[in-house]
Amino acid sequence: MKPINVGLLGIGTVGGGTYTVLKRNAEEITRRAGRPIRIVTVADKNLALARQVTGGEVELTDDAFSVVTDPGIDIVVELIGGYGVAKELVLKAIENGKHVVTANKALLAVHGNEIFAAAQKKGVMVAFEAAVAGGIPIIKALREGLTANRIEWLAGIINGTTNFILSEMRDKGLPFAEVLKEAQALGYAEADPTFDVEGVDAAHKATIMSAIAFGIPMQFDKAYIEGISKLDSVDIGYAEQLGYRIKLLGIARRRENGVELRVHPTLIPEKRLIANVEGAMNAVLVQGDAVGATLYYGKGAGAEPTASAVIADLVDVTRLHTSDPEHRVPHLAFQPDQVRDVPVLPIEEVVTSYYLRMRVEDKPGVLADITRILADSSISIEALIQKEAAEGEAHTDIIMLTHQTAEKNANAAIARIEALPVVQGKVVKLRMETL
C-alpha cells in the first residue's frame, strides 16, 4: 500500500496532537483509510520544537512554502492560523494541486469564498472539520448526516473560553474581569483574549456553519457580533432566578427574507440540555425539518480533540483523492452552482425575545408607565421580577422577559423607557432563545 504523503504546516498544540495521534493510531487509521497516512515534512519557524515533537523522524523545515510546492506532498495540513501567511500558503498549495486540511476558522470565514472557488477550479479538496467546535464532527453532520433536511436553524456554544468564563461567573458570582484572569492563568484564554471574549472566534465558526447549513456564501462581514466582556454577573443571577442560563451562542436561522447570523450572550431555559454545557465544553444544536433537533457535544479545543478532527479529514481526503471531483461531497455541502446569495439580515430585523433590566424609582405608577410603553409597542411580557428597594435606597431593579418582537421594535420601546424621568441610566438588554 503506497502511503499518502502529508506536509504539516505548524507543530504547535494542534499540530503536535495530530502528529502524536496519527502515530499512536497508525494501524487502525490505515485500516480505515485503505493506505498509510504519512507525515513526511513538518514546517515550523521553531525547528527545535518540531524536532522535539517528531523526534527528528521526519523532514523538518522552517520554510513552509517549500512544502506547499513540493511535488512529493499530496495533502497539506495548515495549522498556522490567522489570515496572513496561512492564506498565501493555502492558495499556493491549491495552485500546486494539493488537497488542504485546515483548522483555520478565521481564514475560511473571511476568505473561504475565494479559497473554495480556487479549490473547485483545481479539483482539489479543502477539508475543515477542525475549524468548528474542535473534536465534534459537526461539519460532517451538517454536510452529510443531515443532508436530507431543510435546516431551519442552528445554535452553538462554540467558544470554550467564554463558556468557561460564564460558568465560573455563575458558579462563583464573580465579575467578568476576575474570571478572565483565572482563565488566562489556566491557559484557556490567550494573552490577547479579544477574539474569544468579544465573540469574533464564535462568529467565524457560526459563519462557516451557516454556509454549509443553508447553501450560502461565507458572509462573516455581515454577522452581528457581541461578546461577553460587558456582561454583568448581576444579570447571570437574575436570569437564574427566572429559570435561565446565559450562554454565548452562535446562531444561524433561516428566515423568509434572509438569514440571521449572530453571536451574543443569550438566555436559554435551564432545562434545555445545551443550557447545561459547562466549562470549556462546546455543543451545537441543529434543527432540521425531518429529523427535528439534534445535539452535538464535546471538546471544542485542545491538542488531541482537535487532532481527532484533522485526522478524520485526512482519512476522508485519502479515501477520495483519486475520485472524480464531481462525485465528492461539495465543500459547502451544496453543489457550487447551487450556492445562493441569500442576504444576512441586519440585527434590527432579527426577531427574538428579550431580557430587560432597568433601575427605577421606587414609587407608584412606575411599573404602569413602563408596561404601557411595551403595550403600545405590542411587546408582550412573559415574566417580571421587581426587587424590593434596599434599605435607604430610592431606586430598585425591575427585570422583565418579553415575548418575541423585532429588534428595532424592542429598541424603540427601550429608548422610550430610558426617557422616562423615573428610569435611571440605561436599560440592560439581553436576547433570549427558547431553542
Please report, in range form, the residues annotated as the binding site for L-homoserine. Answer: 190
Q: Which is nearer to ligand HSE, 159 or 308 (CB)?
A: 159
Asked if 160 interacts with ligand HSE (CB under 6 A), we say yes
**Which of 10, 300, 305, 330 is in the footprint of ligand HSE by CB under 6 A?**
300
Specify the residue, 75 or 301, whose C-beta has the smaller distance to ligand HSE. 301
Cβ atoms 102, 208 nearer than 8 A = no
**Sites for ligand HSE among residues 183-222 (CB under 6 A):** 196, 201
Minimum CB distance to ligand HSE, residue 149 (Å):
26
Separation of alpha carbons 10 and 42, rounded Å: 7
Interaction between residue 159 and ligand HSE (CB under 6 A):
yes
Known binding residues for NADPH are 105
Indicate the annotated binding residues for NADP(+): 9-16
Question: Could you tell me the smallest distance in angstroms from the CB atom of residue 97 to ligand HSE?
Answer: 29
CA distance 417 to 435: 28
Residue placing its CB nearer to ligand HSE in the complex, 147 or 194: 194
Segment lying near ligand HSE (by CB under 6 A), choices 158-166, 217-225, 234-242, 372-380? 158-166
User: Residue 161 or 402: which CB sits closer to ligand HSE?
Assistant: 161
Question: Which phi and psi (to 5°) does residue 84 adopt?
Answer: -80, -105
| Piece of 117-125, 155-163, 215-223, 413-421 that binds ligand HSE (CB under 6 A) | 155-163
Q: Which is nearer to ligand HSE, 64 or 106 (CB)?
A: 106
301 belongs to the binding site for ligand HSE (CB under 6 A): yes
Cell 491549491 belongs to which residue?
94
CB of 201 or CB of 235, closer to ligand HSE: 201
Contact segment (CB under 6 A) with ligand HSE among 31-39, 156-164, 254-262, 378-386 equals 156-164
Q: Shortest Cβ distance from residue 182 to ligand HSE (Å)?
A: 14
Number of residues forming the site for ligand HSE (CB under 6 A): 7
What's the min distance (Å) between Cβ of 160 and ligand HSE? 4
The one catalytic residue among 205, 299, 408, 426: 205
Considering the complex, what minimum distance in angstroms separates the CB of residue 161 from ligand HSE?
A: 3
205 is catalytic: yes
Least Cβ distance, residue 410 to ligand HSE (angstroms)? 30
- Structural contact between residues 43 and 67, judged by C-beta atoms closer than 8 angstroms: yes
How many Å apart are CA 67 and CA 96, to the nearest integer?
10
Nearest-angstrom CA–CA distance, 370 and 257: 32
Which residues contact ligand HSE by CB under 6 A?
159-161, 196, 201, 300-301
Residues labelled catalytic:
205
